[in-house]
């Protein structure tokens, strides 16, 4: 069972998606990610693309983000995201959408969305992280100074720079690697 690690919702249990269609970020990796990007936030908006259980976006909300958008194309995953959002009483601060990641960037841009923090955690066999990062930048979905956290297979290498995004940290935990990117200057 997963849980919220810190913040207002610390200790809340989160449901997992049944079966093997998703690979939830472990509590250990999630805790490490938030230790790296900063334990708490003073407002802002987060995009959890390939949301799975919604654990990363929920953790960001618990730690001070004001709003979140959760996107996944798996209906089972979205049922779990909705259940976790309701259990954490966050419904008034989130949007949940069933969509393909690529298509979602277009309509998010049309809505005028922009994000301070983005989580990209596609299935490891998909090698679309650079394409999605470019799409986020081209559609102006990233605020200046935005952080992007990309979870990927340790066997796949991501570039140091993708458009306006600079990778400032890279860590590996077993078969999982995390690449941390930031838009603009003044990297942590």
* Tens of pLDDT, residues 62-92: 999 999 999 999 999 999 999 999 999 999 9
- For a pLDDT cut of 90, what percent of the chain falls above it? 80
On average, the pLDDT of the chain sits at 92
pTM: 0.94
159 assigned to some structural domain:
yes
- CA 22/CA 122 separation, integer angstroms: 9
86 assigned to some structural domain:
yes
The count of domains in the chain is 1
Neighbours of 139 (CB within 10 A): 16
Looking at residue 65, what is its pLDDT? 97
Of residues 186 and 126, the one with the higher pLDDT is 126
- CA 140/CA 46 separation, integer angstroms: 14
Looking at residue 188, what is its pLDDT? 54
Looking at residue 23, what is its pLDDT? 61
Cβ-in-10-Å burial (0-12, 13-18, 19+) of 91 comes to exposed
Looking at residue 163, what is its pLDDT? 87
Instruction: Judge whether residue 186 has pLDDT over 60.
Output: no
188 assigned to some structural domain:
no
Looking at residue 29, what is its pLDDT? 87
94 assigned to some structural domain:
yes
Per-residue pLDDT band at 21 (split at 50, 70, 90): low
59 assigned to some structural domain:
yes
Check: CB of residue 46 under 8 Å from CB of residue 55: no
Looking at residue 35, what is its pLDDT? 93
- Which residues span the domain enclosing 123? 2-183
Summarised one tens digit per residue, pLDDT across range 90-149 is 999 999 999 999 999 999 999 999 999 999 999 888 889 999 999 999 999 999 999 999
- CA 188/CA 48 separation, integer angstroms: 21
Please report, for the domain that includes residue 166, its CATH number. Answer: 3.40.50.150
């Amino acid at each position: 069972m997963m849980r919220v690690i810190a913040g207002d919702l610390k200790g809340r249990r989160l449901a997992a998606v049944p079966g093997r269609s998703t690979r939830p970020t472990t509590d250990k990796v999630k805790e490490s990610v938030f230790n790296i990007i900063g334990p708490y936030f003073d407002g802002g908006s987060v995009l959890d693309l390939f949301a799975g259980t919604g654990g990363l976006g929920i953790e960001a909300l618990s730690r001070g983000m004001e709003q979140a958008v959760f996107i996944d194309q798996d209906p089972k995953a979205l049922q779990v995201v909705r259940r976790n959002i309701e259990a954490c009483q966050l419904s008034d601060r989130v949007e949940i959408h069933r969509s393909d990641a690529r298509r979602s960037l277009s309509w998010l841009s049309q809505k005028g969305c922009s994000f301070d923090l983005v989580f990209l955690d596609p299935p490891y066999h998909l090698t679309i992280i650079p394409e999605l990062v470019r799409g986020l930048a081209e559609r102006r979905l990233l605020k200046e100074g935005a952080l992007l956290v990309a979870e990927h297979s340790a066997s796949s290498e991501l570039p140091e720079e993708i458009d306006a995004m600079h990778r400032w940290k890279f860590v590996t935990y077993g078969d999982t690697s995390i690449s941390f990117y930031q838009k603009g200057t003044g990297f942590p």
